[in-house]
Amino acid sequence: MIQDVYLSLDHKEVEFKSLNGKDSRFNCTQIVQLSTKAGITDVTVDDSGQLKKFYFMINSKENLKFLTETT
């Protein structure tokens, strides 16, 4: 499911907001993989040893740059 993604002003946290109201917040250092294909970006996050994937559409290459710099 594609989600909205928000990056904190200090670029240290990322928040994934899903349509079902279940939001997830992680430190950017927990991002273990980031890739984009056909306009969809998938992010793999290590949540206490459990890998979780989130999908979103980027609205700005500038925003994606901040996620890439932290991984």
The confidence score (pLDDT) of residue 50 equals 95
What average pLDDT does this structure show over 38-66? Answer: 80
**Domains by residue range for the chain, with CATH:** 4-70 (2.30.29.30)
The confidence score (pLDDT) of residue 4 equals 82
The confidence score (pLDDT) of residue 16 equals 87
Tens of pLDDT, residues 9-31: 888 898 888 777 788 999 989 99
The confidence score (pLDDT) of residue 21 equals 77
Output the DSSP codes for 13-71.
Answer: EEEEE-TTS-EEEEEGGGEEEEEEETTEEEEEEEETTEEEEEEEE-S-HHHHHHHHHH-
Please tell me the pTM assigned to this model: 0.74
Distance CA(52)–CA(38), nearest Å, equals 21
CB 2 within 8 A of CB 57: yes
